[in-house]
């Protein structure tokens, strides 16, 4: 097609764009190839080929093709989509750089602004995501997904009223937007009118599995607010039962992780790690006070809250080179012994840049890092690891009540109370072995003690982290840093004790979980 007139190339380009919008990938590909045969430097053809590759799961190839497009003619849309590819490739630092480059150039449409916002939120820069999300809804107010994304980031930075309004706009545009309904319930319990709408949807006939799960969680929040706890738990069971069956989850998969993590105590015992004193890891089962403790410590002016990072897991996975497609798995944990701890520790710290490095310390609050505690202790011997503990039954109930990200398999235990209790037993035994073996760099903190005496526990935390006393840590609820966890609402309030002993409201319903805990010798703190 050499010598194809410019008008013909432009027509092919229009056809390619139209075909991609209707997901006619064959036609898009054919048009792009025809364009490139005539004009190999036509940047948008390379870009569209990159989108085809990414949409078909070949994200690495997609990124390569988009980078070629950027070389030929940088546009904000290209950088935004490259950032999206880097998120999928678990390259958060590169993704952040691309999102910022896109903003510097200036996105041309609502989709590009929304894509930039999504990339920023996925790498933890929730405060930076607000502006592009606002611009997306300004340019196209008819897309429920744009309003939902804006609502989520507003919730994370504490803008609860605006978040609720954004979620409501998403629901108004798409009454079947079940994620918006469950998210709205987190910041504002459904009133009777909203509850009746959700009931009607649940009663209308079989729902898609995830839709039923989200709707049941939203309606359960309505009953909890009214003190009708058994009814709330029945709704959760309804939604979670189908999801668990759909996943085919078995606790044995998590037991294998606990067994492999216990074996990491023997890894790297005589090898030097990376000398950085910056990281403070806050770990533990979810819903045990990890976010509360993060807010307390990060209210110190020398500490930056970096969020829930997967960076240590990724640094270890890359060092081990295990073949599985999971980041956290027994193969990777057992393979750690053959890698170099200093390399892993250095790669971890460097991967957190440029968001970290501007304060002497930073917090990584990924709860699941408790599996890596022994490896963290040796890869980063000057780091500090704070492990949260909470009453066993309160922990099980709180995990069961939480709607975790449905695409994140590591919390699949929370779809059944009995599985949650078994998981707690595995966690308890693992943490006991770590506490005995890891020495002064590992500290257990009990949620109930923090609630009982905030200042005493805050002082203890700062001493452990090597930080001088600062009164701001007692006003943690005034901390303006984003919170992208299930506790985003609660930690913007002063400390309260109403969730201590919550399990007593549901003693009969929790009996099966209680039996599992008692058989394992777990103290219930009565």
The residue-averaged pLDDT of 167-171 equals 97
Q: What is the pLDDT of residues 224-252, one digit of tens each?
A: 999 999 999 999 999 999 999 999 999 99
C-alpha pair distances (Å), 209 with each of 105, 149, 201, 202, 242: 41, 22, 13, 11, 6
Is residue 7 classed exposed, middle or buried when 0-12, 13-18 and 19+ CB atoms within 10 A define those classes?
Answer: exposed
Per the prediction, the chain carries an average pLDDT of 93
C-alpha pair distances (Å), 39 with each of 14, 26, 84: 15, 20, 27
* Domains delineated in the chain: 252-519 (3.40.50.300)
- Name the residue with higher pLDDT: 501 or 29: 29
Confidence of residue 457 (pLDDT cuts 50, 70, 90): very high
Return the axis-axis angle of helices 209-225 and 229-247, rounded to nearest 10°. Answer: 160
Does 483 have pLDDT greater than 70? no
Whole-number percent of the chain with pLDDT over 70: 95
Confidence of residue 158 (pLDDT cuts 50, 70, 90): confident
Confidence of residue 490 (pLDDT cuts 50, 70, 90): low
The residue-averaged pLDDT of 292-314 equals 95
**Whether the Cβ atoms of residue 488 and residue 183 lie closer than 8 Å to each other:** no
Closest CA to 366 of 376, 353, 379: 376
The residue-averaged pLDDT of 1-26 equals 85
**Whether the Cβ atoms of residue 312 and residue 369 lie closer than 8 Å to each other:** yes
Does 442 have pLDDT greater than 90? yes
Confidence of residue 496 (pLDDT cuts 50, 70, 90): low
* Token pair listed for 170: 């998403």
Label residues 293-330 b or e (16+ Cβ within 10 Å = b): bbbbbbbbebbbbbbbbbbbbbbbbbbbebeeeebbbb
Give every strand in the sheet of 442-446, ordered side by side: 303-305, 361-364, 279-283, 384-389, 442-446
Around Cβ 33, how many Cβ atoms within 10 Å?
A: 15
* Terminal-residue alpha carbon distance, the chain: 81
Residue 61: DSSP 8-state? H
Distance, in Å, from the CA atom of 454 to the CA atom of 475, rounded to the nearest integer, reads 10
Per-residue pLDDT, 494? 58
Per-residue pLDDT, 479? 62
Does 13 have pLDDT greater than 70? yes
Identify any residues that bridge with 303 across adjacent strands, giving them in sequence order. 361
| Strands (DSSP E) found in 171-264 | none
Per-residue pLDDT, 315? 96
* Token pair listed for 39: 């004009």
- Name the residue with higher pLDDT: 30 or 1: 30
> 304 phi and psi, to 5 degrees?
-110, 130
Distance, in Å, from the CA atom of 464 to the CA atom of 241, rounded to the nearest integer, reads 42
Radius of gyration of the chain (CA): 24
Distance of CA 316 to the CA centre of its chain: 19
Does 488 have pLDDT greater than 70? no
Per-residue pLDDT, 480? 60
Does 318 have pLDDT greater than 90? yes
* DSSP string covering 11-43: HHHHHHHHHHHTT-HHHHHHHHHHHHHH-TT-H
Confidence of residue 405 (pLDDT cuts 50, 70, 90): confident
The residue-averaged pLDDT of 25-46 equals 96
Confidence of residue 492 (pLDDT cuts 50, 70, 90): very low
Per-residue pLDDT, 526? 58
For residue 417, what is the enclosing H or E element? helix 417-437
Does 1 have pLDDT greater than 80? no
Whole-number percent of the chain with pLDDT over 90: 86
Is the entire prediction scored with pTM above 0.85?
Answer: yes
Q: Which is it for the CA torsion 454, 459, 464, 468, positive or negative?
A: positive
Per-residue pLDDT, 497? 67
**Whether the Cβ atoms of residue 80 and residue 99 lie closer than 8 Å to each other:** yes
């Amino acid at each position: 097609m050499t010598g194809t007139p410019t008008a013909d190339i432009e027509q092919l380009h229009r056809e390619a764009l139209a075909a991609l919008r209707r997901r006619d990938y064959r036609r898009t590909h054919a048009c792009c190839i025809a364009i490139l045969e005539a004009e190999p430097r036509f940047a948008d053809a390379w870009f569209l080929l990159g989108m085809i590759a990414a949409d078909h799961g070949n994200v690495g190839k997609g990124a390569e093709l988009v980078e070629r497009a950027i070389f030929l003619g940088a546009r904000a849309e290209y950088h935004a989509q490259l950032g999206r590819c880097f998120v999928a490739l678990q390259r958060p630092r590169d993704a952040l750089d691309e999102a910022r480059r896109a903003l510097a150039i200036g996105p041309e449409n609502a989709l590009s602004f929304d894509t930039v916002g999504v990339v920023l939120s996925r790498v933890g820069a929730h405060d930076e995501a607000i502006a592009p999300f606002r611009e997306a809804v300004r340019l196209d107010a008819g897309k429920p997904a744009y309003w939902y994304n804006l609502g989520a980031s507003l919730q994370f930075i504490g803008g609860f009223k605006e978040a609720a309004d954004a979620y409501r706009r998403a629901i108004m545009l798409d009454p079947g937007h079940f994620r918006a309904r469950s998210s709205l319930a987190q910041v504002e319990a459904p009133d009777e009118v909203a509850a009746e709408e959700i009931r009607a949807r649940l009663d209308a006939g079989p729902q898609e599995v995830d839709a039923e799960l989200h709707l049941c969680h939203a309606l359960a929040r309505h009953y909890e607010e009214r003190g009708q706890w058994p009814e709330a738990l029945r709704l959760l069971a309804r939604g979670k039962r189908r999801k668990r069956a759909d996943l085919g989850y078995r606790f044995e998969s998590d037991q294998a992780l606990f067994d492999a993590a216990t074996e990491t105590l023997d890894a790297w015992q005589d090898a030097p790690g990376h000398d950085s004193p910056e990281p403070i890891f806050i770990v533990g089962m979810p819903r045990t006070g990890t976010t509360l403790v993060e807010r307390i410590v990060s209210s110190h002016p020398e500490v930056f809250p970096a969020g829930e990072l997967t960076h240590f897991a990724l640094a270890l996975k890359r060092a081990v080179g295990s073949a599985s497609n999971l980041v956290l798995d027994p193969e990777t944990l057992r393979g750690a012994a053959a890698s170099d701890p200093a390399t892993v520790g250095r790669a971890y710290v460097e991967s957190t840049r440029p968001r970290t490095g501007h304060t002497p310390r930073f917090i990584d609050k990924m709860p699941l890092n408790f599996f890596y505690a022994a490896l963290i202790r040796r890869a980063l011997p000057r780091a500090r690891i704070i492990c949260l503990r909470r009453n066993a039954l309160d922990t099980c109930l709180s995990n069961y009540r939480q709607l975790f990200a449905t695409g994140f398999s590591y919390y699949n235990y929370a779809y059944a109370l009995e599985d949650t209790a078994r998981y707690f037993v595995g966690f308890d035994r693992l943490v006991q072995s770590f506490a005995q073996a890891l020495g002064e760099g590992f500290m257990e903190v009990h949620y109930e003690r923090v609630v009982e005496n905030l200042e005493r526990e805050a002082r203890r935390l700062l001493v452990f982290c090597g930080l001088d006393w600062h009164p701001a840590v007692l006003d943690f609820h005034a901390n303006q840093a984003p919170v992208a966890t299930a506790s985003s609402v609660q930690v913007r309030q002063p400390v309260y004790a109403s969730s201590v002993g919550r399990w007593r409201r549901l003693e009969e319903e929790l009996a099966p979980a209680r039996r599992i805990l008692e058989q394992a010798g777990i103290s219930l703190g009565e």
